[in-house]
Amino acid sequence: MSEKLEQLKERLGEVSDLQHAASVLGWDQQVNMPPMGNEARGQQLATLSKIAQEKFTSDEVGRLIEDLKQELAGADPNSDEAALIHVTARDYDKAKRVPPEFIEEQAIVSSKAFEAWLEARSKSDFSIFQPHLEKVVELVQRYVSFFPPADHPYDTLLDDYEPGMKTADVKAIFDGLRPKQVKLIKSIAKSKQVRDDFLYKKYNEKKLVEFGEKVISQFGYDWNRGRQDKAAHPFETTFSVNDVRITTRYEEDAPLATLFSTMHESGHAMYEQGINPAYERTPLSGGTSLAVHESQSRMWENLVGRSLPFWEHFYPELKKLFPAQLDGVSLKTFYKAINKVEPSLIRVNADEATYNLHIMLRLELEIGMVDGTVAVRDLPEIWNAKMDDYLGIVPPDDARGVLQDIHWSGGSIGYFSTYALGNLISAQVWEKVRKDIKDLDDQIRKGDFSALLGWLRTNIHQHGHKYEPQVLVEKVTGSRIKPEPYLRYLTNKYNEIYGL
């Protein structure tokens, strides 16, 4: 390794250490922190993030990147070293464009917007949130202005989550999907409905959590390099490739959601546990993009965890644990229940068939806010009209409508589409997995996930943040992200369940 590369890696290592330290503090805040600890913790996190930013955007890092670009000019662009310089240069350029004062201003505006959002949601009064969201949008537009003009201003935002991806690509994908997904939901609505009352009985929390832990152990989540704790919101967080943690919560109203949430987070975590250890403490660690990350969590949650072969293996055990709750419920009935389709108001509770429509609605509004064609004050009205169009239901109040998500209050505009793209990628990759592992269903039926996890490790996980998402997806599946596999998956599944 050249001396300059070593110097750069040392500096990047420090930045990574600071970011991971912040992740530990953030995890502790969600999992352990006593109520009064919040103020000091906020200050500590702000300091860590400020120093990490200062260290990363130092002139020395800039010089090293420039020198190494020249040094590696003739190298294979797919080599780890060339990729490291490419990715680091891209992140550096972005970071340098945003003035520190802007970041501070954004932190203050977001913090106030978050408070206002909490109040607005609890009172179901959009007017409380509106002026704050207007400021958030203004800041987002200012953020975009720091970058060279793109085809669409939303491109700049999207690029932060999905490097290389364009608004036009996402629109094209979703335009191909939306009418067919709406049609599918309508024909399901006309079919005979499935029974799922037994999912909403009381289930013992401890037993359910232990069952979930057994399942993800069998998936291949490595407890020597992770742990699960309780938190108000389920999430995955990474402190190093050897310390990847998840959280769960017990949902009183829908106890089995706990189980699917654990599978979901384990998908994120197994991804992180599978990244090439040589990328540690560099910008090549972490997943490819949010969408690719979500493809892994969704795959384990849905394509595996809501499949019939999976439950052929695990249902007898679940039934033994909860004989009263599942008395007289056959495997088929259970399987149909956990795949029930029902248009609903709240995104996070949506089923597989309707979920993407919640996302498309948000994406359209975001694009409009950013390019100025949608005014913040009109959001509630447009929201409700689109809900009616896509899902055939209208929120009775804004708390269950435009005010339901936290994202905008924190300035996260550009994030939502990654959820839907993750669903698409999961199905697209799944078709390839099934080609490569012919007896996958049989293996799952035996509770054996080793070939599947091995395949994902080799084809996706190990590459970390090295490739852009479209490049990786094309490398793995032979084509860029497209809606057809997901649509095929949904259609096949629901044809069978609903006898369409």
Q: How far is the CB of 21 from a copy of itself (least distance, A)?
A: 5
Measured from the CB atom, the residue of 279 and 315 that comes closer to a copy of itself is 279
Q: How far is the CB of 145 from a copy of itself (least distance, A)?
A: 30
The answer to whether 371 and 152 are in contact (CB under 8 A) is: yes
The answer to whether 476 and 460 are in contact (CB under 8 A) is: yes
Q: How far is the CB of 63 from a copy of itself (least distance, A)?
A: 20
CB atoms within 10 A of CB 293: 22
Measured from the CB atom, the residue of 25 and 189 that comes closer to a copy of itself is 25
Query: Among this protein's residues, is 265 annotated catalytic?
Result: yes
Measured from the CB atom, the residue of 18 and 256 that comes closer to a copy of itself is 18
Measured from the CB atom, the residue of 142 and 214 that comes closer to a copy of itself is 214
List the structure tokens of 206. 């401890």
Measured from the CB atom, the residue of 32 and 122 that comes closer to a copy of itself is 32
Measured from the CB atom, the residue of 41 and 171 that comes closer to a copy of itself is 41
User: Which residues bind to a copy of itself, rule: CB under 8 A?
Assistant: 13-14, 17-18, 20-22, 24-25, 28, 32-37, 39-41, 43-44, 47-48, 51, 222-227, 229, 239-243, 245, 280-281
Q: How far is the CB of 347 from a copy of itself (least distance, A)?
A: 31
Measured from the CB atom, the residue of 14 and 125 that comes closer to a copy of itself is 14
Q: Chain-centre distance of CA 197, in angstroms?
A: 29
Residue pointed to by tokens 């169009």: 389
Q: How far is the CB of 404 from a copy of itself (least distance, A)?
A: 31
Measured from the CB atom, the residue of 32 and 191 that comes closer to a copy of itself is 32
Q: How far is the CB of 43 from a copy of itself (least distance, A)?
A: 6
Helix pair angle (38-56, 100-123), 10° resolution: 140
Determine which one of 236, 251, 265, 272 is catalytic. Answer: 265
Q: How far is the CB of 15 from a copy of itself (least distance, A)?
A: 9
Q: How far is the CB of 46 from a copy of itself (least distance, A)?
A: 8
Catalytic residue numbers read 265
